[in-house]
Amino acid sequence: MKIGQIVQSSVPAIFKYCEETEPEEFARLQDPRYSKETFDINYPFCRQVAQIGAADRVRYWTREYVIHGVPVRVTSQWFNPPTSKSLPLLQRYLASKGLPADSHPETATSDALPPDVAIRAARGRYKGNAIGNAQNYLVRNILSRLGDEQFNALQWQAVVDAFGRACAYCGTEGELVMDHVVPINKQALGEHRLGNLVPSCRACNARKAEWDFREFLADDPIRIETIEAHMMSQGYEPIGDHAQLRAIIELAHQDVRNLADRYVAIINTVLTGKPEGTE
């Protein structure tokens, strides 16, 4: 079976996981850098239908999926070994999320996986609590605490008022939530600072997800300028592409998994009375 068929058979489970277990993963799957690192593909795993231009339509399958109310298509740009390593990476990804590694086991067995991936797949528990949740919360916590800036509810309300008590992205009034202009994740390195926060309606908040505001508002330069003016007025300068900081955040991300593995081993030893991995 070609990798494209395997991907398409796995998509429903991946999106169900995004809706029921880890909503943040849906945003990450729209990030090109995350998709490159995770699957070795050159396009986002999925992209919102409204953001797929005429030139890119051929790079996405026509079937649409609606996740959190947002219609998306999945990229068709997958290549079989030995041209790329996407197949074992896809299987590694599925195993890490506790998802079925393949709906056609006769074509892709655990023998095709790297040894460490095969072990995780065999020991994984479908729909268990993903370690990625804890890793992402730690990253967000770290980025939320950088520097010594402080602000309170009144100062946030002043920002909402400055935007006319309307969504910074579309101008809709009504229920508004905080949105990080530069996403607060290990890829974008956004921070939880007043200058990186704008009011957003829930629809725009869901659609923007992990997109940088300039990409999200590509056709609306006036709103881009307004948000940039807000950032400047609050003295916020995005970290940008900081290789050293990115490496530190990645180390913290991995430390969470190592710490969890350590305590699982300790507790299993206490419960069973024998060291982890012994018969």
With contact defined as beta carbons under 8 Å apart, do 198 and 230 qualify?
yes
Tell me the pLDDT of the chain averaged across its residues. 83
What count of other Cβ atoms lies within 10 Å of the Cβ of residue 121? 20
Q: Which residue has the tokens 């890793």?
A: 135
What does the pLDDT look like over 56-102, one tens digit per residue?
Answer: 888 899 899 999 888 999 999 898 776 678 888 998 899 888 887 65
Contact predicate 60/75, CB 8 Å: yes
Paired tokens of 101: 């590694």
Q: What is the pLDDT of residues 12-53, one digit of tens each?
A: 999 999 988 888 899 999 998 889 889 989 899 999 998 888
pLDDT band at 1 (very low <50, low <70, confident <90, very high): low
Beta-carbon contacts of 192 under 8 Å, excluding residues fewer than 6 positions away, are: 140, 143, 144, 145, 180, 184
pTM given for the model: 0.54
Provide, rounded to the nearest whole percent, the portion of the chain with pLDDT above 90.
Answer: 33
Amino acid 247: pLDDT: 87
Distance CA 209, CA 221 (A): 19
Percent of the chain with pLDDT over 70: 86
pLDDT for residue 83: 64
Does the structure show a pLDDT above 50 at 120?
no
Residue 152 and residue 262: Cα distance in Å, rounded? 38
pLDDT beyond 90 at 164: yes
Cα gap 19→268, rounded to integer Å? 31
Q: Which two tokens stand for residue 177?
A: 């939530």
Strand partners, 180: 197
Say what the alpha-carbon torsion angle 104, 110, 111, 115 is, to the nearest 10 degrees.
Answer: 160
- pLDDT-based confidence at residue 119 (cuts at 50, 70, 90): very low
Residue 107: pLDDT band by 50, 70, 90 thresholds?
Answer: very low
pLDDT attached to residue 204: 87
Is 50 exceeded by the pLDDT of residue 223? yes
pLDDT for position 7: 92
Which residue is listed with tokens 């729209």? 30
pLDDT of residue 197: 95
| 36 in Cβ contact with 42 (< 8 Å) | yes
Q: Where are the domains of the chain?
A: 3-124, 147-233
pLDDT at 143: 85
Q: In whole angstroms, what is the distance from residue 45 CA to residue 23 CA?
A: 15
Q: How many CA atoms lie within 13 A of 29 on its CB side?
A: 23
Angle formed by the axes of helices 86-96 and 3-20, to 10°? 30
Split at pLDDT 50, 70, 90, the class of 118 is very low
pLDDT digits (tens, 9 = 90+) for 179-221: 999 988 877 888 999 999 999 998 888 888 778 888 888 878 9
Q: Which residue has the higher pLDDT, 222 or 117?
A: 222
pLDDT the model gives residue 178 = 92
Confidence of residue 276 (pLDDT cuts 50, 70, 90): low
Q: Beta strand pairing status for 177-180 and 46-48?
A: unpaired
- pLDDT of 194 reads 94
- Mean pLDDT, to the nearest integer, of 266-278? 78
Of 55, 33, 32, nearest to 46 by C-alpha is: 32
Question: Do residues 14 and 63 make contact, with C-beta atoms less than 8 angstroms apart?
Answer: no
Integer angstrom CA distances of residue 45 from 26, 33, 56, 97, 144: 10, 10, 13, 16, 27
Give the type of residue at 123: R
